[in-house]
Amino acid sequence: MNFFRELLTPKRVIVFVLLVLFLVFFSRKLGAVLLPFIIAISFAVILEPLIGFLERGLRLPRAVAVLATLVAVGGLTWYGVVLLIGQLVGQLIDLASLLPVYRETIAEMTEDLLGHLQALNESLPTIVSVNIQTSVQDFLVTLEDSTKDLINRVLGMFSGLPSFLLVSIITLVATYFFSRDKELILDTFMQFVPTTSRDKALEFRRKLSVDLFGYIKGRFLMLIISTVITAVGLVLIGTRYWVILAIVIGIIDQIPVIGPGIIFTPWVAMSVIAGDINRAVYLTILYFVIFAARNFAEPKIMGDSVGLHPLIMLLAMYGGAVFFGVVGLVLGPVLAIVIRATTAAGLLKLPPYADK
């Protein structure tokens, strides 16, 4: 077809192959290097409305407005993070010590369930029951080992406190300069653009600013909403590890297509099997509250500013994770937004589709 013949030009194929090779060999290191600056740009975008208010409303110099915002917001954030980490570490240590108990409890529940099934259906072969029990035991052992390994990794992160402080300082300083010198950075970028492409570059800058700001602000607010609703609900239910679960569910809720149902569905099922109908009902209600809050708030917060299909965002997150690790979950969608802004501004032209 003409579409693919025009799309796959030799130049584009060579550039694509070189880009893939670069990502394969250097993506992990590149992700680690870019991480503090990606976070800094995100913070600068999120804080821009408050900085703009201080600059225009209170007539403060931009440098003072940026510094005041970073001190105020940074102080509150640091205080909240310290409290959250204290709860998180305590619950992780408690969970690690009780994992064998939980494994035995689930194994006993499985054995009781199989006993009931055999009572209802005497024709169920014994070997089937034994195989199910063995499979469940193997799965629980693997799950316990994986959970312990994950907990040890999370707790081990705190042993790298000097590296964390270094990344935090770099991020803070980079945020200050990105915010203070925003116009200078953008003007410097424009100087490298040929005169004939200035209009397209300006459109790219406008489109990227709107889409990127909309995405980062929207995802940040949706993460807070999902996490807070989950945390409050789990505390009211009396869940032991509410901090861990609220953070995990809040993060999963931001992944397109998947959502928190991947956690709530088996949790409700296990509660029913265990005979804890009240907990199953409470968890179901909490899930629908989170679902309803997301469907109500997301269109108002996100709007159509990004304009990327959820499957495209999911692909971007997965591809980013493959090439850049955990950082890629953030970097992938950002790159997708950049590519969309590039095509919307006409800097990257795709040939019109014609099926001939």
pLDDT tens-digit profile, the chain (356 residues): 444 454 456 666 676 677 766 666 666 666 667 778 888 887 888 888 888 888 888 888 888 999 999 888 888 887 877 777 777 777 677 666 666 766 666 666 666 666 665 555 555 566 666 666 677 666 666 766 666 676 666 666 655 566 777 778 888 889 999 888 888 887 787 777 677 767 777 777 777 777 777 777 778 888 888 899 999 998 898 887 788 888 888 888 877 667 788 888 888 887 887 778 888 899 899 999 988 888 787 777 765 556 667 777 778 878 877 777 766 777 788 888 888 877 776 766 655 544 44
Q: Is 245 domain-assigned?
A: yes
Q: Is 297 domain-assigned?
A: yes
State the pLDDT at residue 9: 62
Report the run of H or E that residue 333 belongs to, with start and end.
helix 328-344
Q: Is 266 domain-assigned?
A: yes
**Structure token pair of residue 42:** 């995100």
d(CA 275, CA 109): 10
Q: Is 123 domain-assigned?
A: no
Q: Is 95 domain-assigned?
A: no
Residue 189's nearest CA partner among 334, 338, 62 is: 338
State the pLDDT at residue 356: 46
State the pLDDT at residue 3: 41
Q: Is 307 domain-assigned?
A: yes
**How many structural domains comprise the chain?**
1
Q: Is 342 domain-assigned?
A: yes
State the pLDDT at residue 169: 85
Would you call 243 exposed, middle or buried from its count of C-beta atoms within 10 A (0-12, 13-18, 19+)? buried
User: Is the Cβ–Cβ distance between 252 and 222 less than 8 Å?
Assistant: no
Cβ count near 303 (within 10 Å): 11
Which range of residues forms the domain containing residue 306?
A: 203-349
Residue 88's nearest CA partner among 207, 219, 250 is: 250
User: Is the Cβ–Cβ distance between 212 and 334 less than 8 Å?
Assistant: yes
Q: Is 277 domain-assigned?
A: yes
